[in-house]
Amino acid sequence: MSPRRPRRRARRRSPARPAITLIAAVVVLALLVGGLTQVSRQSQGYDANSNRSLAVQGAVVAGQSNATASQVRRLVGNLQGQTRQSIETGLDSAVQQTADQAARLDLAAGSSPSGSPGGELETVFTDRARAVAEVRHAIDGFLGMQPIPIADAPATGTSTAPSITSQASTLTAGQATDQVAAAGALLARSDDLYRSVQGSLAGAAGNARLPKSVWVTDAGLWQAGTVATQVDLMAASPTLAASHYLLLRTVRLNPPALPTPQGAPASVSALSPTSQIGVTTVLGNDGTADEPHAAVRFTLANQATGVTATQVESAALAFGSSVTLPTATFRVKPGTAYVLTVAVILPTGQAATAGTVLQQALQVAPAT
C-alpha cells in the first residue's frame, strides 16, 4: 500500500471536525439562553411577589397613616380652642403613631429587592413621622410644654417624669410659625413621593396597587400666614394660659410615727427615741405649666427652746408629673417636742391651699 493513501483519507475526514464543533457551540448557546430565560422568569416572579407583599404592608400602614393625618389636621386647625393637656395628648399620640408606622414600613421595605420602590415608600412614612415630631416641638416650644411621661415607662432616679432642665429655650411666635410651616412642606413632599411610588408599583412586576394616602388636603392650612394666625390665637387663648399648681402628695417620716398612746392627743405624732429624723416628700404638679424650679421648705421648731432649723429641696417638674425630693434630715433630742412644717414654695400665680402646706406636732420619746 502506498504510504500516501492514509494522508489522502485523513484529508477527506478533516472537514467533519468544524461541523461537530459548530453543533456543540450551538447546543451550549441554546442551553445558556434557556438558563438565562429561566432565571429571568424566576427573577420576575420573585420581584412580582415582593412588590405585592410590599403593597399589602403599605396598604395597612397607609390606612393607619390616613387616620393619624385626620387627627393632626383637626388639631392644627383648632389649636386655640383646646386645652394645653388636650394639645399635648394629641401631639404625643400622633408622634407615637407615625413613629410606629415608619418602623412597620421599614421592616416591610427591608425585605424588598434592591432597586424596588420599597426604599422610597419607607422615606414617605419616615418623613411624615419627622414632620409630626417637628410640629410637636414647635407647639411645645411656643407654649412652654413638653411630652407627657408615658405610663409605666422606666423612671430616671426617683422621678416619674423626664427632666426638663435640658429642654430647649421657649420658641418665639416667628420660630414656631416657621417650624410648623416647614413641617407642612415636608408632609406635602411625602404626599408627592407616595403618589410616585403608587405609579412605580403599578407599572412594575406584579402590578401591585397602593390605596390613596394624603396628609395635606388643604395646602393653605400649612402656609406661613395661616400658621402665624393660629400661633397668635394660641397666645391669646384663655384655655391655653399656663396655670401653676404644685402640691404635696405624700410626706413620710423616718423613723415612722408610732401608734398614738392612750390619752395622748391625736394631733401629736409619737416617735421612738432617736437623735435624727428624715422627712421624705413627693411633690406633684397638677398645673398646666412645667416648673423648672419647684421647691419645698422644711422647718422643724423645738418647742422647748424655740430654735428652728430649715432646709429647702427643689427639682425640675414637668406638668402632670411627680417627683420624690431628696430627704430633709434634722437633728433632734429624745424627750423633746417639735413642730414640723412642710410647705410648697409657691410659684407666681399659685395661691396657698390645703395641699400646699402640712404642719405636724412631733414628740420624740425619751431615751431608755
- Would you give per-residue pLDDT tens digits along the chain (368 residues)? 455 555 555 455 555 566 666 666 655 555 555 554 444 444 455 578 888 888 888 899 999 999 999 999 999 999 998 988 899 999 999 999 999 999 998 876 655 555 568 889 999 999 999 999 999 999 999 998 888 766 544 434 333 334 444 444 589 999 999 999 999 999 999 999 999 999 988 888 778 899 999 999 999 999 999 999 999 999 999 889 888 999 999 999 999 998 877 776 778 999 999 999 999 999 999 988 889 899 999 999 999 999 999 999 999 998 888 999 999 999 999 999 999 999 999 998 899 998 999 999 999 999 87
273 and 131 within one domain: no
Quick check: is 228 in a domain? yes
Domain that holds residue 117: 34-240
Q: Which triple of cell numbers denotes residue 225?
A: 400666614
Please give the Cα distance from 131 to 91 (Å, whole number): 12
258 and 224 within one domain: no
Please, which residues have CB within 8 angstroms of residue 349's CB and are 6 or more apart in sequence? 242, 243, 244
270 and 330 within one domain: yes
Strand partners for 297:
312, 343
- Please classify residue 79 by burial: count the beta carbons closer than 10 Å to its beta carbon, then call 0-12 exposed, 13-18 middle and 19+ buried: buried
Helix intervals (H) in 78-172: 84-110, 118-143
Residue-level length of the chain:
368
**Long-range contacts, stretch 305-313, CB < 8 angstroms, 24+ apart:** 312/345, 313/281
pLDDT of residue 37: 47
344 and 266 within one domain: yes
267 and 184 within one domain: no
Please give the Cα distance from 353 to 365 (Å, whole number): 32
267 and 218 within one domain: no
Please, which residues have CB within 8 angstroms of residue 25's CB and are 6 or more apart in sequence? none
214 and 103 within one domain: yes
Q: Which triple of cell numbers denotes residue 260?
A: 398614738
Q: Which of 187, 208, 240 is the last residue of a domain?
A: 240
92 and 174 within one domain: yes
pLDDT of residue 32: 56
Quick check: is 21 in a domain? no
225 and 136 within one domain: yes
Please give the Cα distance from 198 to 304 (Å, whole number): 84
- Four-CA torsion 296, 302, 307, 309, nearest 10 degrees: -20
Sign of the CA dihedral running 97, 102, 105, 106:
negative
334: part of which helix (H) or strand (E)? none
pLDDT of residue 154: 43
Pair 288, 83: CB distance under 8 Å: yes
Q: How many domains does the chain have?
A: 2
